[in-house]
Amino acid sequence: MITTPAPSHAAAARQWFLARADLGALIDGLRDSGRRVIGPTIRENAIVYDEIQSAADLPAGWRDEQAAGRYRLERRADERVFGYTVGPTSWKRFTFPPNLPIASAHRTGSFGFEQPTPDAPPVAFLGVRACEIAALEIQDRVFLGGQFTDEDFRARRAAAFIVAVQCTTSSSTCFCTSMGTGPEVHGGYDILMTEIDEGFVVHAGSPEGAAIVAKLPTRRPSHAEAGAAVDNVESVRTQMGEPLPMAGINERLKLQLDHPRWAMVADRCVECGNCTMSCPTCFCTSVVERSDMEGRRSTTERQWDSCFDVAFAKVAGGDFRSRPRDRYRQWLTHKFSTWFDQFGSSGCVGCGRCITWCPVAIDVREELAAIAPPIAPVIRPVAVEPVAASPGSYSIARVATIRPETEDTSTLTLTDVDPAFLAGRPGQFVMIALPAFPAVPISISRFRANGIDLTIRAVGPTSTALTNLHPGAKVGLRGPLGTFWPVEEAYGRHAVVVAGGVGLSPLHGLVDALVANHDRFESVSLFYGSRTPEDQLFRDDLAAWSTGKAIDVAITVDRAGPEWKGRVGVVTTLFDMISWDCTKVTAFVVGPERMMQASVQGLISKGVPADRICVSMERHMECGIGLCGHCQMGGRFVCKDGPVFRLNELGDLFNREGI
Partner 1 sequence: MATTGRTARPRVAVAKFASCDGCQLTILDLEDELLEIVSRFDIVEFPEATSRRSPGPYDIVFVEGSISAPEHIDQIKELRKQARVLVTIGACATAGGIQALRNWADHDAYRAAVYAHPEWIESLATATPVAEHVKVDAELRGCPIDPGQLTELLTAVLVGRRPQIRDEAVCRECKRKGIVCLVVASGEACMGPVTTSGCNALCPTYDRGCYGCFGPRANANAKSWSAGLLKSGRPPEEVRRIFAGFTGYAEPFRSVITELGKAKG
Binding site for partner 1 (CB under 8 A): 43-46, 48, 50, 69-72, 88-89, 93, 98-99, 267-274, 277-278, 286, 288-295, 303-306, 309-311, 324, 356-361
DSSP classification of residue 472: T
- Smallest separation (angstroms) from partner 1 to the CB of 282: 11
- Smallest separation (angstroms) from partner 1 to the CB of 259: 19
Q: In this complex, which beta carbon is closest to partner 1, that of residue 7 or of residue 88?
A: 88
- Smallest separation (angstroms) from partner 1 to the CB of 309: 5
- Smallest separation (angstroms) from partner 1 to the CB of 123: 16
H or E element at residue 275: helix 274-278
- Smallest separation (angstroms) from partner 1 to the CB of 315: 14
C-alpha 581/C-alpha 599 separation (Å) is 17
Residue 273: what residue type?
A: G
CB-side exposure of 384: number of CA atoms within 13 Å? Answer: 19
- Smallest separation (angstroms) from partner 1 to the CB of 287: 9
Cα dihedral: 203, 205, 208, 213 (round 10): 0
* CA neighbor of 307 nearest in space, from 330, 339, 281: 330
Sign of the alpha-carbon dihedral angle for 343, 347, 351, 353: positive
Q: In this complex, which beta carbon is closest to partner 1, that of residue 16 or of residue 125?
A: 125
Residue 181: other Cβ atoms inside 10 A = 26
Q: In this complex, which beta carbon is closest to partner 1, that of residue 355 or of residue 510?
A: 355
- Smallest separation (angstroms) from partner 1 to the CB of 71: 5
C-alpha 452/C-alpha 446 separation (Å) is 6
- Smallest separation (angstroms) from partner 1 to the CB of 382: 45
- Smallest separation (angstroms) from partner 1 to the CB of 284: 11
Beta strands 437-448 and 429-434: pairing type? antiparallel
Q: In this complex, which beta carbon is closest to partner 1, that of residue 43 or of residue 448?
A: 43
Q: How far is CA 354 from CA 50, 259, 273, in A?
A: 20, 22, 9
User: Who contacts 189 (Cβ-Cβ below 8 Å, separation ≥6)?
Assistant: 128, 133, 162, 163, 164, 205, 206, 209
CB-side exposure of 105: number of CA atoms within 13 Å? Answer: 12
- Smallest separation (angstroms) from partner 1 to the CB of 553: 52
Rounded to 5°, the CA angle 84-90-95 comes to 140
Q: In this complex, which beta carbon is closest to partner 1, that of residue 50 or of residue 366?
A: 50
Q: In this complex, which beta carbon is closest to partner 1, that of residue 54 or of residue 286?
A: 286
Q: In this complex, which beta carbon is closest to partner 1, that of residue 234 or of residue 271?
A: 271
79 with 63: CB under 8 angstroms? no
Q: In this complex, which beta carbon is closest to partner 1, that of residue 294 or of residue 576?
A: 294
- Smallest separation (angstroms) from partner 1 to the CB of 633: 43
Cα dihedral: 6, 7, 12, 17 (round 10): -80
Q: In this complex, which beta carbon is closest to partner 1, that of residue 134 or of residue 275?
A: 275
* CA neighbor of 285 nearest in space, from 308, 306, 310: 306
Q: In this complex, which beta carbon is closest to partner 1, that of residue 108 or of residue 579?
A: 108
Q: Rounded to the nearest 5°, which phi and psi values hold at 233?
A: -75, -40
Long-range contact pairs involving 305-309 (C-beta distance under 8 Å, separation at least 24): 306/273, 306/276, 306/277, 306/282, 307/276, 307/331, 307/334, 308/269, 308/271, 308/272, 308/273, 308/275, 308/276, 309/271, 309/273
Q: In this complex, which beta carbon is closest to partner 1, that of residue 307 or of residue 623?
A: 307
